[in-house]
Structure 1
């Protein structure tokens, strides 16, 4: 039996005031909807309204579907399966349908085919009853079932029939069979299980059960408690509580960035990697060789993922980073963006000095601009201890097995953790030259390996992707002046106030232009591999001043070096004299003559004072007093003073000898302080100031030359 609403015909005013779903609440809005859907033209569904006011009344079947369903719901109290279906909107029905299993969806699809077959037979000339019986025979289903399916889709648009033909038994609320958990028992389970250290659930359950049974608290079974815990506490919350923040972060999907809009060398990222291989590093300056794991700083192009530059060192330090960037700039060019982490090897003043976004150290106004800052490279700082933030970590993971476990390093592999040491741990150390050769080959193979599956590689190698983009990309090349920026150093040094020399690492550097910067702080850059080639001197604001050569120390009686030094000093002095002569266009005599002619003329008559004051004559008085005071006692005292002065003059050569002894004692004291500093011992700030001031004196230099030629035995004389 079909159900119809109690009120079938509605005026526009009644519909606007009805509050039915999908019906405009204003008469104007409702009129627009009626005109848009052309209700008046529907035969048998629109009629003239009788009574005052006139107008039209509309059949309830013209209303939107949700409004019709609401009217049907109000008209009947039968909570049948059909009523439940009619309560659902099309969106809700499709949402419910998506949650069904494939078997339930296939059943609804077969019902829809039966409905469509009946409608097709009707269009062929059969009555609906004949069509239903014919479809029942063809599809081997009951006639009554087909009629029920038609009731389920009554008033439903043909495009929305499928979800309404699905079974509705899952909409019924079933009583929960989950065990009731006592709140006190549940809170104790959470407190014990949800903590760092990852305690076993069975152990936590047994502990809490013993406590609850002793105190009369109801408990549940272990399996029911576990299901309750998983149902009330999400998996992410459990990982956060038991494994920590980093483990929870790893569960969040990483951000995927689009590289297709970039080009080669637009952005690079760099990081350090420590290889799990023992390498023998040769000692310097006669020191013994050292065996340790090598540290590699690598720079990778973000667009192509190609490793462009790398350096090996014994530690992770800023010098290796600066050299690697120098190789990158010299070989390929200057990138526009650089992605780094905030480790001290990257966030240091030599590399990123002056950048306001550095996480380490204070940014001062007189900071020397770092290498990347001076080249106008935009710096980006990655999240610390977050490997997903740096693409180069993926390359390092690839290198771990291909390089550290290379057959050439058999016996030198250390394992990737203290608990994963191989049986032959420590049996061999690879020479540095052999390690560098294998490393270069493997990095080349890493760059040229085909079959890469990134969005820009598409089966090609990293090198092919880089080379293709590099040929057409706008590349910034470094000039000769900029090449000096990646030299080592960037030290704040002070020019000597008297000689204009610069002392650095125990060596003296000098150039004539330094006399224009006496006592000022400067920046110095130098070639790490050719330190004695000299220093490139910069002002603190980055202005290049010139090149200062290293003044090598020579033997005391080296006549050739003495002549070279004298000739250089003579040439320098002649150049300064010529510069002075160019500035002084007047000689001293010409200047004096010119000044004498500008003096005012002498007065014609000698001036005489108009007022004269008498000066009393006291000389006689003084002579009289001195004569009166002359006594034998005074004469004796005067003779003693004269004798004492004579004795001091007689011992003056002896005081010079004492001064020489004091100079030796001062030099011995300075020598002890210098040896403490070389050994790495600490001295006080007062001792440092005294030592620096004494080293600038001529006494120190003369004693240093004497000790160099006659040995430290000279100090004992």
Structure 2
């Protein structure tokens, strides 16, 4: 047999890299080191028998790791290898002396680490074995009983064979008595040889099984079985695939590929926030909740599911303001904010959902972090920006970002499922609907009164636990905090702005009238904004009164009343328009008279008396150049024709009947 070929770093791909002291099973097999098997299978069995995957260094670090990179194999540190193998690696230049001298945890420490990772069943069995061995030791050392007799007596008492007890005594050997427990623990191993799975079948199985559809293992195995039948190769048992999944694929990868990123986030500890560093009315959050209840529409009477919009103080969890609306509209949200600043004041910070109702320009126009609708530099300031409230956007589809979500869950139990709404509750999902759903619809005013009563009861309910509630209610916590907090109250102008919606409009180029939501608004002052953009504030609940007009800097300009429409046969409408025009003409004439304008005849007389300016002299150029015309250039360039000969002239004269010339 020829000598084994020795491999050096330059043949192993290490010539350009620093030695790391980490090797895979395949690399160790190729190196053919002394004291180690020279084939991959034998090395894998050696690593399993000696528990290379579990052994640690003195600092507690594992001596095995995944090689960096996608799908990298497992590699082992040189400290796991026999001394002869380490010395050979140093001689060939694969690792340094320091790497080879790295000490792993002692055998005893590794044994106790292994024992700590075992289930209670193994630990309890180890304890029973220790009691039996200790009983034998007690009889032989203290009672001076022969060892064979002691073993037979203890074996009979515990219902085991003497041979078994002798094997336990042999297991502890001469080890220190404090280490007997892990030595006596049963070390059962699996069924031996690992089934070999063809790589193509393994790739097919894990690709099919790691899908968001989350097919069962049997279905993915059936795909593999059909492919193996086509290829004409044997396929291992389904358990072999499942064991390889557990052995090679990270559990986080399984969750991500079969359940999605949102499910993976649930397996990571979430942040736990404290409110000890904030005061009441410092941070609030707002959100909407659609009730699973059928309520009669206030206008049409048709059954709908109403929406509750509420603002909660984060420090005390008290719901400070709320409104029930047909939907989560901007108007409803605006009124809730108006109630908040009117009753309690202006908060410093607010957490908003990124819904269309909360991110509308009426509320958050001009905010730097507003990522809804088209943002224009000339957009008017929204209510929150004008009041100086710091806006924070909640993470989309993440209920933990809004503490008020917890309150909605409580109110669902006390409102939607209350006895007063029995028969109107629709259930919170298609598979969770009560049998009597849709049998009645609640009156709108009756439902709003129930919501008001239950929210006040929610705030006043005592016995709250968690945080620093200590059995107090949300009202009590809020009142105590408010007594030591400075709250900013709005002015009358700010309160009026809160109750009014805002839009940016352009006055008509000729009349200056403002067109808003199908209505027209005009006053004499509109002549100042003809063709210009202005900010218009109005009450969306009453569009048939007036609007308030502001310039770009926010200064108040004037109020413009609505222009009413009139029927085609309505004579009164024509009279109104005629009077309006007459008033404008009269006012314009008065302005013209007050301007004390000069009469046109006087202007003509003044112009005639003014001495006329003399006729200006034409300046002379320094030199004149005659530009040649096209004909003159041709005449100069063309050569002068030669005169006709005497013979030619005689032929011409003969043709004309004239006498010939004498040559």
TM-score by length of structure 2 reads 0.61
Within 5 Å, give how 1:26-425 maps onto structure 2: 88=106, 99=117, 167-168=182-183, 177=192, 179-184=194-199, 185-212=201-228, 215-283=231-299, 288-425=300-437
- CA deviations on 1:15-41 (whole Å, 9 max, x unpaired) are xxxxxxxxxxxxxxxxxxxxxxxxxxx
Q: CA deviation at 1:298?
A: 2.0
Question: Could you tell me which of 443, 467, 470 is aligned with 1:458?
Answer: 470
Distance 1:107 1:558, change over 3 A: same
Q: CA deviation at 1:515?
A: 3.7
Q: CA deviation at 1:436?
A: 0.7
Within 5 Å, give how 1:318-717 maps onto structure 2: 318-552=330-564, 573=587
Q: CA deviation at 1:457?
A: 2.3
- Residue 366 of structure 2 aligns to a residue in which SS? coil
Bigger drift between 228-237 and 399-408 goes to 228-237
Distance 1:508 1:65, change over 3 A: closer
Q: Find the aligned partners of 1:322 and 1:201 in 2 and give their Cα distance.
A: 53
Q: Find the aligned partners of 1:222 and 1:96 in 2 and give their Cα distance.
A: 29
Q: Find the aligned partners of 1:357 and 1:289 in 2 and give their Cα distance.
A: 40
Is 1:494–1:520's contact at 8 Å kept on the other side of the alignment? yes
Q: CA deviation at 1:433?
A: 0.8
Q: CA deviation at 1:566?
A: 8.2
Q: Find the aligned partners of 2:590 and 2:486 in 1 and give their Cα distance.
A: 51
Distance 1:493 1:567, change over 3 A: closer
- Residue 265 of structure 1 aligns to a residue in which SS? coil
- CA deviations on 1:603-627 (whole Å, 9 max, x unpaired) are 9xx9999x9xxxxxxxxxxxxxxxx
Is 1:268–1:337's contact at 8 Å kept on the other side of the alignment? yes
Q: Find the aligned partners of 2:263 and 2:427 in 1 and give their Cα distance.
A: 24
Q: Find the aligned partners of 2:591 and 2:486 in 1 and give their Cα distance.
A: 49
Q: CA deviation at 1:229?
A: 2.4
Distance 1:150 1:466, change over 3 A: farther
Segments of 5+ residues of structure 2 without an aligned counterpart are: 1-57, 61-78, 84-102, 131-136, 148-167, 618-663
Alignment RMSD (CA, Å): 5.1
- Residue 410 of structure 2 aligns to a residue in which SS? helix
Q: Find the aligned partners of 1:228 and 1:608 in 2 and give their Cα distance.
A: 110
Match in the other structure for 1:638: none
Q: Find the aligned partners of 1:607 and 1:151 in 2 and give their Cα distance.
A: 134
- Residue 531 of structure 1 aligns to a residue in which SS? coil
Q: Find the aligned partners of 2:580 and 2:236 in 1 and give their Cα distance.
A: 101
Match in the other structure for 1:687: none
Q: Find the aligned partners of 1:290 and 1:607 in 2 and give their Cα distance.
A: 86
Q: CA deviation at 1:90?
A: 10
Is 1:487–1:525's contact at 8 Å kept on the other side of the alignment? no
Distance 1:134 1:327, change over 3 A: same
- Residue 338 of structure 2 aligns to a residue in which SS? helix
Is 1:182–1:218's contact at 8 Å kept on the other side of the alignment? no
- Residue 505 of structure 2 aligns to a residue in which SS? strand
Q: CA deviation at 1:508?
A: 3.8
Match in the other structure for 1:653: none
Q: Find the aligned partners of 2:550 and 2:108 in 1 and give their Cα distance.
A: 76
Q: Find the aligned partners of 1:87 and 1:253 in 2 and give their Cα distance.
A: 31
Bigger helix share: 1
- Residue 355 of structure 2 aligns to a residue in which SS? coil
Q: CA deviation at 1:281?
A: 0.9
Q: CA deviation at 1:526?
A: 1.7
Q: CA deviation at 1:490?
A: 1.6
- CA deviations on 1:631-673 (whole Å, 9 max, x unpaired) are xxxxxxxxxxxxxxxxxxxxxxxxxxxxxxxxxxxxxxxxxxx
Q: Find the aligned partners of 1:87 and 1:552 in 2 and give their Cα distance.
A: 92
Q: Find the aligned partners of 2:613 and 2:349 in 1 and give their Cα distance.
A: 86
Q: CA deviation at 1:366?
A: 0.8
Q: Find the aligned partners of 2:180 and 2:342 in 1 and give their Cα distance.
A: 72
Q: CA deviation at 1:307?
A: 1.8
Distance 1:479 1:94, change over 3 A: farther
Q: How many residues align?
A: 485
Is 2:123–2:185's contact at 8 Å kept on the other side of the alignment? no
Is 1:321–1:346's contact at 8 Å kept on the other side of the alignment? yes
Segments of 5+ residues of structure 1 without an aligned counterpart are: 1-63, 75-84, 112-131, 154-160, 612-717
Match in the other structure for 1:52: none
Is 2:307–2:328's contact at 8 Å kept on the other side of the alignment? yes
Q: Find the aligned partners of 2:427 and 2:380 in 1 and give their Cα distance.
A: 42
Bigger drift between 464-473 and 419-428 goes to 419-428
Q: CA deviation at 1:353?
A: 1.3
- Residue 559 of structure 2 aligns to a residue in which SS? strand
- Residue 522 of structure 1 aligns to a residue in which SS? strand
Q: CA deviation at 1:107?
A: 9.0
Q: Find the aligned partners of 1:176 and 1:544 in 2 and give their Cα distance.
A: 87
Q: CA deviation at 1:497?
A: 4.4
Q: CA deviation at 1:547?
A: 3.0
- Residue 308 of structure 2 aligns to a residue in which SS? strand
TM-score by length of structure 1 reads 0.57
Q: CA deviation at 1:512?
A: 4.8
Match in the other structure for 2:650: none
Q: Find the aligned partners of 2:319 and 2:126 in 1 and give their Cα distance.
A: 57
Bigger drift between 326-335 and 236-245 goes to 236-245
- CA deviations on 1:127-176 (whole Å, 9 max, x unpaired) are xxxxx9999759x9x9xx9xx999967xxxxxxx97x6764567999787
Match in the other structure for 2:30: none
- CA deviations on 1:589-608 (whole Å, 9 max, x unpaired) are 89x99x999999999xx999
- Residue 293 of structure 2 aligns to a residue in which SS? coil
Is 2:125–2:186's contact at 8 Å kept on the other side of the alignment? no
Match in the other structure for 2:646: none
- Residue 292 of structure 2 aligns to a residue in which SS? coil
Distance 1:597 1:369, change over 3 A: same
Q: CA deviation at 1:210?
A: 4.7
- Residue 312 of structure 2 aligns to a residue in which SS? strand
